Structure 1
Amino acid sequence: MPDPGSAPSGRIPTARELRRWRRYLADERAESAVYRDLAARRSGEEREILLGLADAEERHAAYWLRLLGDDVGAPVRADIRSRFLGVLARRFGSVFVLALAQRAEARSPYASDADATEAMVADEQIHEEVIRALATRGRNRLSGTFRAAVFGANDGLVSNLALVLGIAGSGVSNEFILLTGLAGLLAGALSMGAGEYVSVRSQRELLEASRPDPAAADAVPLLDVDENELALVYRARGMSADEAQARADEVLRTHRTVDETRTDEHEEIGTGTRAAVSSFLFFGSGAIIPVLPFLFGMQGTAAILVAAILVGIALLATGFVVGVLSGGPPLRRALRQLAIGYGAAAATYLLGLLFGTNVS
């Protein structure tokens, strides 16, 4: 490792290099604080993992501190992303923060910086995978409810904006538009809630029906070692004949359960009640937005434009959140949501203009 106060090559560092190293030092300290704040909100294995990441970031900070030596100067602020992540970690500690931390690790500049060691570059790549795994745990815990919430909010935004603009394009009165929008809100929220409940309940029942009977494990010690159908169980699950026989032999030797490797999908899809409530509430919260201008007395083109702008902002926000939580590019997801929503609304508005009648 380089001597304190000297560049890795032994030359005197430039002022620009010193500024960069100070920023790295500040960022590493900020990231370590983020992981410690997240660890304070967790327990058990997740807490230990996050504390291990914090120690690694402090090790990186110590490297930049040694490199700076007497030129460390006054403390500088971390970049705005690290500071924002720190605020979220101190107040929330949710999977959303982990998803942001994953993206922060993916943006590490060390790979293209000759002053960073190869070990530090590798560390940052591993840190991204560790955070990805922790975030995946959280995504699995909320995936059922989150899916219902996202679908509900977007359906409410898009379907009610399309409905309101389609009716507005036909030239009817403001009162009729408002009544239509509120009716669409209530009908859609009830339909979404009921549909999500039935969907999730049905999925859970299908999973339950597909699970092995726990009583089958009790039969394992009684099986004839030379003549038994245990291997057929594993072949039915997709194993080759050799793999199935090897697994069956192992089970017979150890008397372990027939299904010792299965995972619980129930946690990932959530419960019917939670999915229904989330879908109902989020559909309603999305569907009310395009109705607001008409609810407050706006009319005509002004009301249509305000409704479209409000829904556009909401679509961008939901798309951004989905992008962050899914690990994808948030801006691209946000723009995709906006394009889909506006496309549907524009189509129905044009149909309203085409078939419109002045019944006001």
Structure 2
Amino acid sequence: MDEQRPGLSDPSPATLRRWRRRLADEREEARVYRELAERRHGEEREILLALAEAEARHAAHWERLLGERIGRPRRGTLRMRTLAFLARHLGWVFVLALMQRAENRIPYGAPDVPASIVADERIHAEVVRGLAMRGRARLSGTLRAAVFGVNDGLVSNIALVLGVVGGGATPGTVLLTGLSGLLAGALSMAAGEYVSVSSQRELLSASAPDEAARESIPRLDVDANELALVYRARGMSAEEARHRADTVLRRSRTGPLPELPGVADPEVVGTGFGAAVSSFVFFAAGAALPVLPFLAGMAGGAAVAVAGAVTGAALLAVGAVVGVLSGAPPLRRALRQLAIGAGAAATTYLLGLLFGATVV
């Protein structure tokens, strides 16, 4: 029993504070999962509610340890309270990505954390990873267009603006150049995403199994047929394909027609129109930021400083969001994004100074 382990029967004040904090965090985690479950349905809702029940079970462990010393109910850490707030007001994929990181922060080496809770939290992290993967798959086409769009708008237009500034262009010319870059880039990105996503959907559709072939399964000769070749062509080993084919043939005689192995659902990549609109809007939004100081009538070093600061802050935000959604460290992704944008802007500015562009 946990209560019999050294240090648990006569806990110090610091230990009691730690237990109360863990109790508060477990309650907050359960609340986050319940909030997320309210926005889902079917299997995903059941999984989230099961996770909430598991966190409530962990909270009960700390309640038992504290006993009469439990004290007044405490609030969870700022991180967990923020996640609960986001679960109510923000997209669930983003919150799940954050919860995945939170599940990995359990103090695995602490002697007062039972091995069962440590194991539970590791499994919870995998469950959350799986749920987040589902959400990322649904968002992949439009999300990719949005992220690439805003990032490309920021980087390309700050580089363009600083390039002509370095070349000695007047504020009016800088503004015209920035707005032209915004429109041209947004149209180009939208067209590219439309062609890319539409082509990907067409490739997936062309690789989908033919319904006529599926309907032919019950009429195949049980002793001589090539059904196993279908599964081998889709990547199964010869033995696995033969076993699968035999199973399918038996079931096709008595039950509904089985599905032939297919490829990813075309809906996973989104629609060409949706990707194009998303790319256009987000590229334009990103590209507008470096131009804002010049639109406001600023000029010279002040305008460049404001444009750089605004663009840098946006690059940091985009990098952090991408990091969270991909499960990577957000700070590292944010700094990488900033370094890429700063490098591109510095390069074009130096080229402008070097060539001394003359604008007519």
Task: Classify the TM-score, shorter chain.
Answer: over 0.9
Cα distance in 1 for residues equivalent to 2:267 and 2:6? 50
- 8 Å contact kept, 1:140–1:267: no
Would the alpha carbon gap of residues 93 and 359 (structure 1) be closer, same or farther in structure 2, given more than 3 Å must change? closer
Counterpart of 1:146 in structure 2: which amino acid? L
The residue aligned with 1:347 is 347
What is the aligned-residue RMSD (CA, Å)? Answer: 1.7
How far is the alpha carbon of 1:257 from its aligned partner? 5.1
Cα distance in 1 for residues equivalent to 2:19 and 2:84? 20
Would the alpha carbon gap of residues 10 and 33 (structure 1) be closer, same or farther in structure 2, given more than 3 Å must change? closer
- 8 Å contact kept, 1:196–1:275: yes
Moved more, 18-27 or 227-236: 227-236
- 8 Å contact kept, 1:155–1:283: yes
Cα distance in 2 for residues equivalent to 1:61 and 1:258? 45
For the pair 1:310 / 2:299, whether they are aligned, the reply is: no
Counterpart of 1:107 in structure 2: which amino acid? R
Identity level (%): 65
- For 1:265-280, list aligned pairs within 5 A: 265-280=265-280
Helix, strand or coil at the partner of 1:199: helix
Counterpart of 2:41 in structure 1: which amino acid? S
Would the alpha carbon gap of residues 213 and 112 (structure 1) be closer, same or farther in structure 2, given more than 3 Å must change? same
The residue aligned with 2:205 is 208
Q: What are structure 2's unaligned runs of at least 5 residues?
A: none
How far is the alpha carbon of 1:250 from its aligned partner? 2.6
Tell me the alpha carbon deviations over residues 290-342 of structure 1, each in whole angstroms, 9 at most, x when there is no partner: 00111111112221121111111000000000100111110011111111111
- For 1:322-337, list aligned pairs within 5 A: 322-337=322-337
- For 1:1-360, list aligned pairs within 5 A: 1-3=1-3, 9=7, 11-92=9-90, 94-109=92-107, 111-255=108-252, 259-359=259-359
- 8 Å contact kept, 1:85–1:97: yes
Q: What are structure 1's unaligned runs of at least 5 residues?
A: none
- 8 Å contact kept, 1:7–1:67: no
Cα distance in 2 for residues equivalent to 1:314 and 1:186? 19
Q: How many residues align?
A: 357
Cα distance in 2 for residues equivalent to 1:56 and 1:247? 37
- 8 Å contact kept, 1:38–1:93: no
Tell me the alpha carbon deviations over residues 55-85 of structure 1, each in whole angstroms, 9 at most, x when there is no partner: 1111111111111112112222211101111
What's the TM-score once normalised by structure 2's chain length? 0.94
Moved more, 246-255 or 267-276: 246-255
Tell me the alpha carbon deviations over residues 79-110 of structure 1, each in whole angstroms, 9 at most, x when there is no partner: 1101111111122352111111111111112x
How far is the alpha carbon of 1:252 from its aligned partner? 2.4
Cα distance in 2 for residues equivalent to 1:261 and 1:173? 62
Would the alpha carbon gap of residues 323 and 285 (structure 1) be closer, same or farther in structure 2, given more than 3 Å must change? same
Cα distance in 1 for residues equivalent to 2:251 and 2:41? 33
Helix, strand or coil at the partner of 2:209: coil
How far is the alpha carbon of 1:21 from its aligned partner? 0.6
Tell me the alpha carbon deviations over residues 139-194 of structure 1, each in whole angstroms, 9 at most, x when there is no partner: 11111100000000000000011111111110011101100100110011011111
Counterpart of 1:278 in structure 2: which amino acid? S
Counterpart of 2:356 in structure 1: which amino acid? G
